[in-house]
Amino acid sequence: MSADLPAEDAKLVTLARAARARTRAAEGASVRDTDGRTYAACTVQLDTVRLSALQLAVAMAVSSGVKGIEAAAVVTEADEVDVEVVRYFGGAALPVVVADGNGEVRDVVHT
């Protein structure tokens, strides 16, 4: 994991990796709300429902009544990550850490 990553954001990567590994999903994601609580999720791909890990993590936070989201992380092998859901609920300039399956940070996207 990148030494430049703040400890709170490194925790998000760890939670996202764990969600992905636990379910053997394509992606794992986690978000931190403005109160410091975290929510982790994995990709859901059923015949009738398809959600990215990030969409589900945000949905879990929103369904818990969060007032805002301050950071997110996605663990994926995909080349691109759709951060629109984070932008919508978290606002502009929110960091989304993108890491590979080993937890190595590939990018930090700001919404």
Q: What is the CATH number of the domain that holds 32?
A: 3.40.140.10
Which residues contact residue 102 at a Cβ distance below 8 angstroms, ignoring those fewer than 6 apart?
Answer: none
Is 1 domain-assigned?
A: no
Is 96 domain-assigned?
A: yes
Is 105 domain-assigned?
A: yes
Residue 111 has pLDDT above 80, yes or no: no
Enter the pTM of the model.
0.91
Mean pLDDT across the chain, nearest whole number? Answer: 92
For the stretch 5-56, pLDDT in tens is 899 999 999 999 999 999 999 999 999 999 999 999 999 999 999 999 999 9
Quote the domain boundaries for residue 71: 7-110
Is 56 domain-assigned?
A: yes
Is 18 domain-assigned?
A: yes
Sheet order of strands, 69-75 included: 38-42, 28-33, 69-75, 95-99, 105-110
Is 41 domain-assigned?
A: yes
Is 58 domain-assigned?
A: yes
Residue 93 has pLDDT above 90, yes or no: no
Looking at residue 107, its pLDDT comes to 92
Is 15 domain-assigned?
A: yes
Per the structure, the count of domains in the chain is 1
Rounded average pLDDT over 69-96: 90
Looking at residue 91, its pLDDT comes to 75
Q: How far is CA 28 from CA 34, 58, 63, 77, 101, in A?
A: 21, 12, 19, 10, 9
